[in-house]
A = this chain, B = another copy of it.
Amino acid sequence: MAPLISAKTRPVRLADIAKAAGVSHGTASNVFARPEIVREEVRERVKAAAEAMGYGGPDPKGRLLRAGKVNAIGVATAEPLSYFFDDPFARVMMASISQACDATGAGISLVSAVNGEQLAWNIQSALVDGFIVFCVDGGSKLVQLARERKLPFVALDLDSDDDDAVAAIGVDNIAGAGLAARHLTELGHRRFAVLTLPCADAGFGPTTREQVEMALYSATRDRLRGYFAELSRVDIDVSRVPIYETVNDEKSVWAGLEHIFAGAEAPTAVLAMSDRMALHALDWLRQHDIAVPGDVSVVGFDGVPEGAVSKPPLTTIVQPIAEMGRLAVKAILENDGSFSRQSLPVELVVRASSGPSPT
Contacts and interface: CB of A to CB of B under 8 A. Distances in A.
Q: Give the 5 A-B CB pairs with smallest separation, nearest first.
A: A56-B150, A81-B98, A82-B98, A85-B95, A108-B110
Interface in A114-137: 114, 118, 122, 124-127
A95 B80 CA distance: 10
Contact of A95 (B58, B82, B95): B82
Contact of A61 (B10, B65, B110): B65
A72 interface: yes
Given A60-B125, A64-B64, A84-B94, 14 more contacts: A56-B148, A56-B149, A57-B148, A61-B64, A70-B127, A81-B101, A82-B94, A82-B95, A84-B85, A85-B92, A85-B95, A102-B113, A102-B114, A107-B122
Q: Which of A55, A118, A125 has the most CB of B within 10 A?
A: A125
Interface of A: 7, 10, 54-58, 60-65, 68, 70-72, 80-82, 84-86, 91-92, 94-96, 98-99, 101-102, 105, 107-114, 118, 122, 124-127, 148-151, 311, 337
A338 to B, nearest CB: 12
Contacts of A122: 105, 107
Nearest to A74: B107
Given A82-B95, A82-B99, A95-B86, A54 B109 contact: no
Question: What is the predominant secondary structure among interface residues of chain A facing chain B?
Answer: mixed
Nearest to A108: B110
Contacts of A63: 125
Contact of A105 (B71, B98, B118, B149): B118
For this chain, the copies found in one complex come to 2
A109 B114 CA distance: 18
A114 B43 CA distance: 29
Contacts of A70: 61, 127
Given A57-B149, A127-B60, A85 B113 contact: no
B57 A124 contact: yes
9 contacts: A7-B337, A56-B151, A57-B124, A60-B125, A81-B108, A82-B96, A85-B95, A85-B98, A107-B109
Nearest to A10: B150
Given A57-B124, A71-B125, A80 B102 contact: yes
Contacts of A107: 109-111, 122, 126
Given A125-B71, A337-B7, A102 B112 contact: yes
